[in-house]
Amino acid sequence: MEIGFIGLGSMGYPMAENLLKAGHALAIWNRSREKGEGLASQGARQAGRPADAVSADGVAITMVADDAALESVVLGPDGILEKLGPGGVHVSMSTISPALSARLAELHRARGSHYVAAPVFGRPDAAAAKMLFVLCAGPAAACERVRPALEAMGQKVFPLGEEPVHANIIKLGGNFMIMSVIEAMAEAMTLGEKHGVPREKTMEVLTQSIFPAPLFVNYGKQIAAHAYRPARFKLSLGLKDANLVLGAAARAQVPMPLAALMQGRYLAAVAKGRADLDWTAAALNVAEDAGLDPGDGH
Amino acid sequence: MEIGFIGLGSMGYPMAENLLKAGHALAIWNRSREKGEGLASQGARQAGRPADAVSADGVAITMVADDAALESVVLGPDGILEKLGPGGVHVSMSTISPALSARLAELHRARGSHYVAAPVFGRPDAAAAKMLFVLCAGPAAACERVRPALEAMGQKVFPLGEEPVHANIIKLGGNFMIMSVIEAMAEAMTLGEKHGVPREKTMEVLTQSIFPAPLFVNYGKQIAAHAYRPARFKLSLGLKDANLVLGAAARAQVPMPLAALMQGRYLAAVAKGRADLDWTAAALNVAEDAGLDPGDGH
């Protein structure tokens, strides 16, 4: 049976391509149809509207930019919700608010379809290399049914129980921790720089000792060199995620001063015209606050 | 020639023991003499005062609690500064202020002796297992002379040039980054907890995906379980280091809002009577702010 794949952006496209490579039949839909041409030439069927990409009792995967885009492709007049019907499964892989996730789970439940939250860790290059980490929470039978598809898109799938929101919360927690690490690295490097220690040297020592993880090595290099183009994950998306974290924190009454600090950093960066740089460019705030000129007209 | 080793606390003792095991002759001094008895039984010579542990033109290693303790054993009436004399090397391994490091470097230089800053990453168990990461900055010939001793105490030595302060700054930057990670993990886990995600589950997913470093695994386990006894690194020392970071930041004019946040966290934890818990207990602030009772009367 065809899988419906909605959203062919920088993440969705390579994910869908890996599904095709693994032998899954795909129907695809994207707001701008031309984004799907490469996949169509590999055998995917282009649908005219989201609902036409999915079949009753089928599986629909969504990977779109934000809450509004997801509401549109699910709940809008051409949306998938009514089409899926009893037995259908909606695998929601976008980074969205836990509130919307809970709402969609309820709407699906009322129609006899199933909602699975399956957000991912990894940037577009990881998606292309099938190296994503995929979280998965939802009704057990639905998770089991879509597991082969999830495994075709990532290196590891984490089963996280029956409650979709749990996957969204862990995803937001992870993105929040990355933001925090960006700020921490930026402050440590700037402290070093103003004491005469080259930024690269600070990160070299720390990544070869207490922080050997690839994330520190890769993000550290970008921040050390102030190399924020091209964006691997846009700063505007970092702000979106910071807002999602604070929204989830407000709903559950969890004061998160570090998350609030990071929301301010991303807001400042967007205000300074940096929405399209990589989200590590939040480090520029630290350098500028210290009176440094990071150069090259960011 | 004997190496003089000053300071036999939870770090200094196992470090000195590893020097003995590697075949170095040691003279030792500690404020409370009985701390040295175990080493004396292994052949170390107990000195009556710091100056008596070192010989003119010799090598002295200091590993003490803070700036005041170091000033006392170096500059005090029984201190090592005047004894070392031309050609002597002072290897200063404590976590101290860059300001004191610069001052001691200058005082040694004026006497023809050499000051090497060699702070370490690692807790007492890492010191015992010879798994410390040792930073090293100072005059090249002096660093070269003491390298075998440093290698006998750690798994890796990072040569960081001629300026001692650079090693201190990178060390403080690393400790600051650990503090930041503690706060980030605590906020992410508490966000999860109040949405129904077990604290352990949040860390399990994150450490098996984007944060696979041992530091995240080990600290994450402590924070998830609110297990802060016994202290592997005392919270009071975390506050000390936060103060050192902010002092260094003030001297160099580097606004560090995340460091300031952490200083507040450690100050609050000490104010609540938690100075002797492990420094990961800063996570209790996050849980308490969210209205949770972390239990067991911390």
CATH code, A118: 3.40.50.720
Q: Does the structure show a pLDDT above 80 at A44? A: yes
Whether residue B157 lies inside any domain: the answer is yes
Cβ pair A27, A53 in contact under 8 A: yes
Residue B237 in this model has a pLDDT that exceeds 80:
yes
Instruction: Looking at the structure, tell me whether residues A173 and A157 fall in a common domain.
Output: no
The average confidence (pLDDT) of chain B is 97
A12 and A136, same domain (yes or no): yes
d(CA A95, CA A92): 9
Burial tier of B121 (Cβ tally within 10 Å: 0-12, 13-18, 19+):
buried
Interface check for B250 against chain A (CB to CB < 8 A): the answer is no
Could you tell me if residue B205 is inside a domain? yes
Q: How many domains does chain A have?
A: 2
**Cα(A103)–Cα(B49) distance, rounded to whole angstroms?**
71
Same domain, A90 and A213: no
The answer to whether the Cβ–Cβ distance between A196 and B163 falls below 8 Å is: yes
At A179-222, the pLDDT tens digits run 999 999 999 999 999 999 999 999 999 999 999 999 999 999 99
Chain A residues 172-201 with CB within 8 Å of chain B: 172-174, 176-178, 180-181, 183-185, 187-192, 194-197, 201
The stretches of chain B forming alpha helices (DSSP H) are 12-21, 37-40, 67-75, 81-84, 98-111, 124-128, 140-151, 164-193, 199-207, 214-224, 235-252, 257-271, 283-289
Domain final position from A134, A162, A190:
A162
Q: Residue B296: inside a domain, yes or no?
A: no
Contact criterion met (CB below 8 Å) for A186 and A283: yes
For tokens 């309820």, name the residue: A106
**B15 interfacial to chain A (CB closer than 8 Å):** no
CB B120 within 8 A of CB B150: no
| Mean pLDDT on B163-186 | 98
Residue A4: pLDDT over 80: yes
For residue A296, being part of any structural domain is answered with no
Contact A82, A116 (CB under 8 A): no
Q: Per-residue pLDDT averaged across A164-192, rounded?
A: 98
Q: Which of B98, B135, B211 sits opposite A177 (nearest CB)?
A: B211
Q: What angle do CA B276, B117, B15 make, to 5 degrees?
A: 55
Residue B296: pLDDT band (50, 70, 90) is: low
What's B245-281 look like in SS3? Answer: HHHHHHHHCCCCHHHHHHHHHHHHHHHCCCCCCEHHH
CA-nearest of B15, B203, B102, B119 to A170 is B203
Q: Are residues B191 and B119 in the same domain?
A: no
Give the residue among A162, A163, A180 at the shortest CA–CA distance from A172. Answer: A180
**Is 90 exceeded by the pLDDT of residue A294?**
no
Give the angle B234-B73-B36 at the CA atoms, nearest 5°.
Answer: 65
Q: Do B135 and A259 touch (CB under 8 A)?
A: no
Are A152 and A181 in a shared domain? no
Q: Identify the CATH number of the domain in which residue A278 sits.
A: 1.10.1040.10
Q: Is residue B103 part of a domain?
A: yes
d(CA B85, CA B111): 6
Q: What is the pLDDT of residue B298?
A: 67
* Phi, psi angle pair for B208, to nearest 5°: -95, 5
The stretch B200-225 carries a mean pLDDT of 97
Shared domain check, A148 and A9: yes
Provide the chain A residues 104-163 that lie in CB contact (below 8 A) with chain B.
121, 133, 135, 156, 158, 160, 163
Cα–Cα dist A68/A279, whole Å? 21
**Domain of A189, in residue numbers:** 169-289
Q: For residues B137 and B26, state if they share a domain.
A: yes
Taking CB atoms and an 8 Å limit, are B195 and A121 in contact across chains?
no
